[in-house]
């Protein structure tokens, strides 16, 4: 029913009324009320549009806002940060040195500690587990976020170790002209061991163990007819490798190529960083190449976590000497950003890509938008870890601080 029909029903014409109040009301509606209603509707539309535009402007402003200062929420100024190593374990900070390891809360309180004796400790973390190992020594210690687990003794000096999300550890051991790639349960018992030689399959440059621990990926360097080449070998300790020679389920050769780093981004995606690009492997049961990318630009740095991997490439020396690129496990590029500031270290923590150059720090979000550009007053930065939105643990020469960007 339209307005005119409603008026006719509501105000019927009275007998003897020739002009009729009905016509007057309709005429009033046509001349006065209807135009006013249109004006009100137009005003409502413009007000709604204005609110939407304002909301968009606020969201864009938040996205593009660059923080340049911070507030210190808590600090431990007397910490000897120069002689210790630090890594993030869950939402806490794992500190380790020659004589032991300590788990520190965000307020720098000791949650637990574990003593040991090492000469050159290093670490690896996966999920709730960490391993501290003595480079060139024979001791490893498995730690969990809620408590220490226990030691692992090796027969030969340790070159590298990686932990799984179940606490098992893969290690490369040095034995003169030979090397061993051994796989240990968290209690120290050997799950598997494999001897290698420089002539076959080569010298192991790097290893990566899948988060669940059923596959170990090894990058080997070998020399053939005077030329340097590389091999990527996948060893399976699950069902797929039971009937394979030396548990090898995949073997790839790269002529005249150096592959110094291999990583697992998630349980079925592994990445090999070559000197001329990168290769993504799908290791879900069987191993297959998913992406093989050759790059014209020189790779300056690599970084990764359990969701993404990234590169810093050499760019235009005058305008943008560096190009930051971030990829998801499928190889899809998440962002590409040129920048001109120097940096000494790059990492990804939480949803931030963090670059440090002494006391100067830059942070980019996963879209490549600069979110922080400032100087840490406490001195040269050793590590920065994101623990919440806008909140970070900063390890510097001045101590350990939990800060909030502002």
Q: Which two tokens stand for residue 235?
A: 């060893």
Contact 30, 49 (CB under 8 A): no
Pick the most confident of 38-47, 76-85, 332-341: 332-341
Which one, of 208, 204, 205, lies nearest residue 194 by Cα? 204
- Joined together, the tokens standing for residue 25 give 């009301």
Query: How many angstroms separate the Cα of 71 from the Cα of each of 51, 63, 143, 404?
Result: 33, 20, 32, 5
Is 58 a residue whose pLDDT tops 70? no
Which residues, listed in sequence order, are joined to residue 209 by a DSSP beta bridge? Answer: 216
Percent of the chain's residues with pLDDT above 70: 84
pLDDT in tens, 384-393: 999 998 999 9
pLDDT at 33 over 60: no
Across 253-267, average pLDDT = 95
Q: What is the per-residue pLDDT across 63-115, written as a single tens digit (0 to 9) for each?
A: 668 999 999 999 887 677 788 999 999 889 999 999 999 999 988 889 999 99
* pLDDT, tens digit, 9 for 90 and up, residues 177-227: 899 999 999 999 999 998 888 777 889 999 999 999 999 999 999 888 888
Q: What is the pLDDT of residues 282-329, one digit of tens each?
A: 988 789 999 999 999 999 999 999 999 999 999 987 788 999 999 999
Buried b / exposed e along 162-196 (16+ C-beta atoms within 10 A)? bbbbebbbbbbbeeeeebbbbbbebeeeeeeebeb
Please list the residues that pair with 301 across neighbouring strands. 312
Q: What is the pLDDT of residue 83?
A: 82
Q: Is residue 7 scored above 50 in pLDDT?
A: no
Q: Give mean pLDDT, residues 140-160.
A: 96
Contact by Cβ (8 Å): 326, 335 = yes
pLDDT at 376: 95
Residue 136 clears pLDDT 90, i.e. is over it: yes
pLDDT-above-90 percentage for the chain: 67
* Lowest mean pLDDT segment, chosen from 75-84, 161-170, 265-274, 368-377: 75-84
Question: What average pLDDT does the structure give for the chain?
Answer: 87
Contacts within 8 Å (CB) and 24+ apart, 274-278:
274/230, 275/299, 278/309, 278/311
Six-digit token string for 219: 């990058």
What is the model's pLDDT at position 92? 92
d(CA 300, CA 21) in angstroms, rounded, equals: 87
């Amino acid at each position: 029913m339209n307005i005119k029909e409603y008026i006719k029903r509501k105000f019927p014409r009275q007998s003897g009324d020739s002009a009729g109040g009905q016509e007057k009301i309709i005429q009033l509606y046509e001349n006065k009320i209807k135009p006013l209603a249109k004006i009100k509707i137009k005003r409502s539309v413009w007000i709604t549009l204005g609110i939407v535009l304002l909301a968009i402007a606020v969201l864009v402003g938040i996205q593009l806002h660059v923080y340049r200062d911070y507030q210190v929420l808590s600090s431990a100024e007397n910490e000897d940060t120069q002689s210790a190593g630090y890594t993030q374990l869950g939402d806490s900070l794992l500190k380790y040195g020659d004589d032991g390891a300590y788990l520190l809360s965000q307020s720098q309180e000791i949650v637990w500690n574990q003593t040991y004796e090492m000469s050159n400790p290093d670490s690896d973390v996966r999920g709730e587990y960490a391993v501290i190992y003595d480079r060139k020594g024979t001791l490893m210690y498995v730690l969990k976020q809620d408590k220490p687990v226990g030691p692992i003794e090796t027969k030969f000096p340790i070159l590298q170790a990686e932990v799984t999300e179940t606490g098992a550890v893969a290690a490369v051991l040095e034995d003169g002209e030979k090397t061993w790639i051994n796989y240990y349960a968290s209690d120290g018992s050997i799950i598997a061991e494999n001897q290698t030689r420089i002539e076959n399959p080569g010298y192991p440059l790097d290893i990566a163990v899948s988060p669940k621990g059923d596959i170990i990926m090894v990058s080997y360097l070998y020399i053939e007819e005077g030329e340097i080449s590389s091999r990527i070998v996948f060893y399976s300790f699950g069902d797929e490798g039971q009937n394979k020679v030396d548990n090898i389920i995949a073997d790839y050769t790269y002529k005249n190529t150096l592959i110094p780093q291999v990583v697992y981004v998630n349980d079925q995606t592994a990445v090999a960083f070559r000197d001329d690009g990168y290769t993504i492997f799908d290791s879900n049961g069987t191993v297959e190449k998913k992406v093989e990318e050759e790059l014209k630009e020189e790779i300056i740095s690599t970084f990764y976590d359990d969701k993404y991997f990234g590169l810093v490439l050499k760019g235009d020396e005058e305008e943008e000497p560096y190009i930051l690129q971030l990829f998801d496990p499928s190889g899809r590029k998440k962002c590409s950003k040129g920048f001109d500031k120097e940096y000494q270290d790059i990492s990804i923590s939480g949803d931030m890509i963090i670059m440090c150059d002494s006391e100067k720090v830059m942070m980019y979000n996963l879209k490549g938008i600069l979110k922080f550009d400032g100087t840490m007053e406490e001195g040269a930065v050793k590590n920065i870890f994101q623990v919440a939105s806008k909140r970070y643990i900063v390890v510097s020469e001045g101590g350990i601080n939990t800060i909030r960007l502002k």
